[in-house]
Chains A and B, each alone.
Chain A
């Protein structure tokens, strides 16, 4: 099943700044991302780690937050991005 996940960290300023854009995306398109916090939830952390072979090559060889991933297509973006790029990723 297709999941659109945002892996984020509670104390990650990039993630905090992306939250209003994620809300805007939901209001505009009805697309709700699964927001999974990775530093205070080991289950979420392990899920993110399971995508390492997909995420790392596109994120400087590491697991970085925020990472937005479509689990069906493995299409992903990491870091702070503008609204248009977020929408483009989410609606692909």
Chain B
């Protein structure tokens, strides 16, 4: 089961089965200690991080840079999808995929927050011209 971990030097928070060997923020090795959800939430609540729509565009480009997939070069399509994603965040709280619908069960709905794990989608898996369900991400040409 995933747990919360906190770097005792810089308060970096990690959520996972085990903590990083070296803190990616301050570089100190073996720095993480397991903490309660409440403690992790309080540390996270100290700083409101600005993250604009433009930042998300940069984030998905960076995310795809080292991967076998890329952001769809069809700018018109991407703009429509991002408009939907941002509308969904404003109206429904998270960056939900504009080509699917929430079920009102958060654990289930987290599976459709962009970027989702589209590697398992039948529209992507084992397909040379694969893309995620909505088409925001497509497999790079070999």
Contact = CB atoms under 8 A, between A and B. Distances in A.
Nearest to B82: A11
Contacts of A38: 101
A52 B103 contact: yes
- Interface residue tally of chain A, by bracket? 20 to 34
Contact of A16 (B80, B87, B112, B133): B80
B19 interface: no
Contacts of A10: 84, 98
Contacts of B101: 7, 9, 38-39, 45, 48-49, 62-65
A14 interface: yes
B90 to A, nearest CB: 11
A36 to B, nearest CB: 11
A57 interface: no
Contact of B104 (A49, A60, A64): A49
A81 interface: no
A20 interface: no
A13 B87 contact: no
Interface string A11-52: 111111000000000000000000000111000010011001
A77 to B, nearest CB: 14
A72 to B, nearest CB: 22
Contact of A12 (B92, B112, B123, B134): B134
Contacts of B81: 11, 13
A10 B87 CA distance: 10
